[in-house]
Amino acid sequence: MFKVVKKDFLAPNVYMLRIEAPLIAESALPGQFLIVIADEFAERIPLTIADFDKDKGTVDIVVQSAGLATKKINAISEGGFLKDVVGPLGVYSEFVNEDLALLKTKKYIFVSGGIGAAPVYAQVKWFKEKGLDCEVIIGAKSKDYIIFEDKMRDAAKEVHICTDDGSYGFRGNVTDLLKDLINRGKSYDVCVAIGPMIMMKFVCLATKKLQIPTIVSLNPIMVDGTGMCGACRVNVGCDVKFACVEGPEFDGHLVDFDTAIKRQAQYMAKPDELLKTKDHVCNLKKAVDASHAKFKIDEDIVNDMKKNRFTRIPVPEQNPNVRNKNFDEVCLGYDYPQAVYEANRCLDCKKPSCVKGCPVSVDIPGFIREIAKGNFEESSKVLARHTALPAVCGRVCPQEKQCEEKCVLTKRGDAVSIGKLERFAADYARNNHINFLDKAPLNGKKVAVIGAGPAGLTCAGELAKMGFEVTIFEALHLPGGVLVYGIPEFRLPDDVVLYEVENLKSLGVKIKNDVVVGRTITIDEMFDKGFDAVFIGSGAGLPIFMNIKGESLNGVFSANEFLTRNNLMKSFKEGYDTPIKVGKKVAIIGGGNVAMDAARVAKRLGADVTVVYRRTQTELPARLEEVHHALEEGIKFSMLTNPVEILGDENGWVTGLRVIKNELGEADESGRKRPIPIPGSEYVIETDTVVMALGTRPNPLISSTTQGLEINKWKCIVADEHGKTSKEGVYAGGDAVTGAATVILAMGAGKEAAKSIAEYLL
């Protein structure tokens, strides 16, 4: 919680809030922004920093009530609290790093429109503190909406005021006033313009003719701010940039304002299509009862183990026509008799090959043996020795490609259902409030873990069990990483993740949310604060796009944005403020687990969904179970198909997807046959929403702010098999090292890094 220590009325529906946030204030610089969340149900809102006081530990923001989220923020009284404040985010103003002697030779004009005066003030104040002169234009529609005039006059050499209606100062807009000043003999070397997008566009058109270099802040197009969603992508020259990561400031003469302005309509237009929830009658209990009855074990089958050893017990699931209309967990799990019977199929091999297939080396025969004997608590205890997240692994690990693939029973039939049995044992412990994780005596060493995803949580848990004092720094407002923002609740319920997080806390692990490493604090500063080692498990959150024509149209999403809005911000639930836009027809591009998740979410939101994949179903990288579930739920697949262009109307909204058919050629480096386009086979898939599920890459924030940390050409951190990086005392694992991979591989990397850190420090 973040206290509002001061609140001032500035203009109709516009307020200044001073927030107590010492860590943010310590690191803040002009040009950066915050993510603010008013309460549990509110949307994440990016707001540029207007001022900061390092000594008092406060930051100022200016908020205009526009939508529900900003109205909630402005409704908080002085002395009240905001749920979350994250930052500082974004790249600070370029002039901060310029030589002061050189800056003194330049004439800066800052142009602000509306509440753009707030972020401009942070920059103008910095100029004053450095002994630099500058001029400021403040524009608004009328005198009542002029803000920060006194502050600007105190900090700037000259302040020029204009209003659209002429009620105060120059009559006209900021572009008119800028031209007037130049016509009257003023000259400027650099212009900084911040305000509404349309204002910045026309300022840039004017300054381009006048040959005045111009910097703009694209905070108005940002949706989230942590680089996860890709919604703030903007064309800058020949490149596509993410405003929240690579900005928010850019060369205004290179920005494609027209496309960016159209994208602002993404969540403002067509309000009838903003789906907040799916109204449905919950038939879950009926589906559970029917499913369990269907899979009730016949006593004759139980008694004839030898005959049926090679056939696994099917796990009960919701009916496909029921579950595709709700977000309740699809897999209902084994009951006691089913679990015992399935466990008794295990041969309890003396040299278990299944363990070799597990990245975290779980004692698979050990925990299954206890289930077979009905010792469910002991089974949970065996699991706890090897993994901190058993209920997660049992639900989302690709067992068919790992432990179950190694099961000797596959030579004649079905593998033992290892994943479902792991889930059973973990759920038994959770449902009966059993925790086997004992707090170890502290050994005097402190370790910082960056990221509360599967790699970070696993590393933290292993270190805590060895007596290390562990603190996790998480950028989001909830721990769990991809487990909570990426995986839908119908696959992995949040309460399962949060329960296992609480287990780690019982070991003494501390978790600090809303801390962006590389901005709020750096790795070098962590060492300065007394940490003896650092583990980077920050994942790979930046979405990848195809870079085809039409990707900037409204109705085009990254799977990260689509899933984060749904999973983390609960946009599908009544009472939550974050909007989600889904058309009647949705095309999902990609074939991995993320593509299946996005497709199944869209289906639950009422859309007709088609997965577009460039190879055949055989080559789909998604888990077999996820593909099977998607097909059962009525999702269509267009195989051997590749997008070439996204089509749109004159208002910038998606109308279709132009694709080309493929044929398969020789195998590529992945071992899968290479898709080859068939000339003349193009056609159009009618759709109004396109979701890109093409993978993700690491955010460069940590690597760019940590000297001596080597990265490869894919911007992944370079680490050896034990997690050791090129920087002394720094270890890394999971998607930050490998790029987007599986949960269990990230956990394995976190576990191995913990061993390596222990060897390094003890």
Number of Cβ atoms within 10 Å of the Cβ of 108: 22
Whole-number average pLDDT of the chain: 90
Sheet holding 689-692: strands in order across?
A: 556-558, 689-692, 585-589, 608-612, 636-638
208 pairs with which residues across the strands? none
Q: Measuring CA to CA, which residue among 502, 463, 508 is closest to residue 723? A: 463
pLDDT at 669: 81
Helix (H, G, I), strand (E, B) or coil at 527: helix
Same domain, 103 and 84: no
pLDDT band at 222 (very low <50, low <70, confident <90, very high): low
In a domain, 405, yes or no: yes
Same domain, 491 and 412: no
Number of Cβ atoms within 10 Å of the Cβ of 495: 11
In a domain, 441, yes or no: no
In a domain, 142, yes or no: yes
In a domain, 277, yes or no: no
Summarize pLDDT for 304-356 with one digit per residue, the tens: 555 578 999 999 999 999 999 999 999 999 999 999 999 999 999 999 999 99
In a domain, 437, yes or no: no
Same domain, 450 and 360: no
Summarize pLDDT for 669-704 with one digit per residue, the tens: 878 889 999 999 999 999 999 999 999 999 889 999
Angle at 349 (CA atoms; ends 344, 352), nearest 5 degrees: 115
Same domain, 305 and 393: yes
pLDDT band at 277 (very low <50, low <70, confident <90, very high): very low
CATH number of the domain where residue 204 is located:
3.40.50.80
Same domain, 44 and 130: no
Summarize pLDDT for 378-419 with one digit per residue, the tens: 999 999 999 989 999 999 999 999 999 999 999 999 999 999
**Cα Rg of the chain (Å, integer):** 28
Same domain, 120 and 250: yes
Summarize pLDDT for 100-139 with one digit per residue, the tens: 999 999 999 999 999 999 999 999 999 999 999 999 999 9
In a domain, 392, yes or no: yes
Measure the N-to-C terminal CA separation of the chain; round to a whole number of Å. Answer: 36
Same domain, 159 and 178: yes
Distance CA 489, CA 181 (A): 58
Place of tokens 């370790």: 447
Structural contact between residues 401 and 355, judged by C-beta atoms closer than 8 angstroms? no
CATH number of the domain where residue 7 is located:
2.40.30.10
pLDDT at 665: 93
CATH number of the domain where residue 588 is located:
3.50.50.60
Structural domain that includes position 351: 284-431
Q: Measuring CA to CA, which residue among 315, 244, 266, 221 is closest to residue 91? A: 244
Same domain, 701 and 718: yes
Q: Of 89, 121, 156, which closes a domain?
A: 89
CATH number of the domain where residue 348 is located:
1.10.1060.10
In a domain, 278, yes or no: no
Query: What is the tally of structural domains in the chain?
Result: 5
Same domain, 160 and 227: yes
Predicted structure pTM score: 0.84
Which residue type occupies 167?
Answer: S
pLDDT band at 235 (very low <50, low <70, confident <90, very high): confident
Structural contact between residues 725 and 717, judged by C-beta atoms closer than 8 angstroms? yes
pLDDT at 262: 81
Q: Of 221, 240, 268, which closes a domain?
A: 268
Q: What is the dihedral of CA 624, 629, 635, 636, to 10 degrees?
A: 30
Distance CA 471, CA 460 (A): 8
Helix (H, G, I), strand (E, B) or coil at 717: strand
Q: Of 651, 670, 694, which closes a domain?
A: 694
Distance CA 365, CA 341 (A): 15
Same domain, 687 and 729: no
Same domain, 83 and 102: no
In a domain, 276, yes or no: no
Distance CA 18, CA 85 (A): 12
Q: Both tokens of residue 183?
A: 């016509």
Same domain, 53 and 116: no
Angle at 258 (CA atoms; ends 142, 230), nearest 5 degrees: 105
